[in-house]
């Protein structure tokens, strides 16, 4: 990261490494993209990039962010800013400020609220300690952070599954109490985080938190019925949610397959029939197919994804199904 920092400094100075790229650097992970913050206004940053012979990306200019490509990596330089949320408003008013500490105070979690310039780490909220202790902790008051942008609740769960970190107690309590606020967020933003979550390396931690936090109840209520749902069959050694989690973990890391694994038994609570001391779930694959057609539209999926995921679910018990092996593994 030092080489990228030096090249950015040659274009505009001063800059501070911030956000996820600094977090990953401190964890010894090679960042995918790079985030920097600067006291300079976006017009000046844009001018400096052009003078440096680079093409500026201006999509985020009104929010203070100017992007460019360096050595094939995306670099974003953002003016120090704070965000003010009006009563009942979902989009913040961006206000440019002069100090890095004020900029860091607007961020979601302590591990993302650090800055580095040279060898100096600016860490007003204890992010390095939380990195060391493996904690996801909200900056300041968690309820305020989640009221400002409820998607942060889902991001906390995704970071937990990405980094194998525990969500700090008060932050988790606030997610549980505020979980209904996720309904204020667009389905498109939900899906960006859920897609990332389903491909995380510590996925079980994330799926458990997704259910236990209450977010699943508001985002995919049909799926939330599986929590502690006993299947009462000779084929399954686990309750329905435990079976689903295991099926997802056993499926290949391809996003449509992961979604299909997550939703493959979504219809079971609706078709249960008692036969003696056992339960059967005839036609749950066909009803599941129909439910996912409707759910995919609700979640703003593309037609390709709706068709792909629903077909996998309809056929998941066939011998050549890409989900059959994962489903069988989840039963043992």
pLDDT score of 285: 86
In the numeric block, the tokens 């979902």 are attached to: 90
Last residue of a domain, one of 79, 98, 133: 133
Mean pLDDT (the chain) is 92
Q: What is the CATH number of the domain that holds 160?
A: 1.10.110.30
Domain identity same for 8 and 122:
yes
Q: What is the CATH number of the domain that holds 321?
A: 1.10.3210.10
Domain identity same for 108 and 84:
yes
Q: Residue 183, by phi and psi: left (phi above 0), alpha (psi -120 to 50) or beta?
A: alpha
Last residue of a domain, one of 133, 148, 177: 133
pLDDT score of 174: 98
Q: Which domain holds residue 251?
A: 221-331
Mean pLDDT of the region 217-225: 97
Mean pLDDT of the region 156-175: 98
Domain identity same for 46 and 62:
yes
DSSP β-ladder status, 81-84 and 115-117 = unpaired
pLDDT, one tens digit per residue, over 74-120 is 999 999 999 876 655 556 789 999 999 999 999 999 999 999 998 89
pLDDT score of 273: 67
Domain identity same for 249 and 312:
yes
Domain identity same for 239 and 307:
yes
Other Cβ atoms within 10 Å of 184 Cβ, number: 12
Whether residue 190 has pLDDT greater than 60: yes
Last residue of a domain, one of 219, 240, 268: 219
pLDDT score of 330: 80
pLDDT, one tens digit per residue, over 240-275 is 999 999 999 999 999 999 999 999 999 988 877 667
Domain identity same for 153 and 204:
yes
Cα separation of 73 and 31, whole Å? Answer: 9
Give the confidence band of 229 by pLDDT, cuts at 50, 70, 90: confident
Mean pLDDT of the region 1-14: 89
Domain identity same for 191 and 239:
no
Other Cβ atoms within 10 Å of 91 Cβ, number: 9
Whether residue 308 has pLDDT greater than 80: yes
Domain identity same for 264 and 317:
yes
Domain identity same for 161 and 175:
yes
Q: What is the CATH number of the domain that holds 44?
A: 3.30.460.10
Tokens representing 6?
Answer: 């030096």
Domain identity same for 84 and 1:
yes
Residues of the chain with pLDDT > 70, as a percent, come to 92
Domain identity same for 86 and 141:
no
Nearest one of 93, 95, 76 to 33, comparing CA atoms? 76
Cα separation of 152 and 172, whole Å? Answer: 12
Question: What's the structural domain count of the chain?
Answer: 3
pLDDT score of 248: 97
Query: 119 phi and psi, to 5 degrees?
Result: -90, -5
Cα separation of 78 and 38, whole Å? Answer: 6
Cα separation of 203 and 200, whole Å? Answer: 5
State the virtual CA torsion across 138, 141, 146, 151 in degrees, nearest 10.
Answer: -20
Whether residue 279 has pLDDT greater than 80: no
H or E segment at 16?
strand 16-18
In the numeric block, the tokens 């997704």 are attached to: 210
């Amino acid at each position: 990261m030092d080489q990228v920092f030096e090249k950015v400094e040659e274009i505009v100075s001063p800059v501070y490494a911030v956000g996820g790229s600094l977090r990953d650097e401190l964890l010894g992970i090679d960042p995918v993209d790079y985030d920097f913050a600067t006291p300079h206004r976006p017009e000046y940053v844009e001018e400096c990039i052009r003078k440096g012979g680079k093409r500026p990306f201006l999509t985020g200019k009104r929010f203070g962010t100017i992007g460019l490509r360096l050595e094939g990596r995306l670099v974003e330089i953002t003016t120090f800013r704070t965000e003010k949320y009006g009563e009942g408003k979902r989009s913040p008013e961006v206000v440019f400020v002069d100090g890095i500490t004020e900029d860091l105070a607007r961020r979601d979690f302590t591990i993302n609220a650090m800055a580095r310039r040279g060898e100096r780490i600016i860490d007003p909220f204890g992010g390095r300690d939380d990195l060391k202790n493996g904690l996801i902790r909200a900056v300041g008051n968690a309820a305020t952070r989640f009221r400002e942008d409820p998607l942060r609740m889902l991001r906390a769960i995704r970071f937990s599954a990405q980094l194998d970190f525990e969500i700090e107690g008060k932050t988790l309590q606030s997610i549980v109490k505020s979980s209904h606020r996720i309904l204020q967020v667009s389905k498109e933003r939900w899906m960006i985080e859920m897609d990332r979550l389903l491909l995380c390396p510590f996925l079980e931690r994330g799926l458990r938190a997704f259910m236990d936090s209450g977010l699943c109840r508001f985002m995919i209520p049909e799926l939330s019925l599986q929590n502690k749902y006993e299947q009462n069959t000779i084929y399954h050694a686990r309750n329905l949610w435990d079976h689903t989690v295991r099926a997802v973990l056993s499926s290949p890391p391809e996003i449509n397959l992961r979604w299909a694994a997550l939703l493959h038994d979504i219809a079971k609570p609706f078709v249960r029939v008692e036969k003696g001391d056992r339960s059967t779930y005839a036609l749950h694959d066909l009803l599941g197919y129909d439910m996912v057609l409707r759910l995919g539209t609700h979640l703003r999926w593309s037609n390709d994804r709706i068709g792909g995921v629903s077909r996998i679910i309809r056929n998941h018990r066939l011998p050549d199904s890409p989900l059959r092996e994962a489903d069988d593994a989840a039963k043992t």
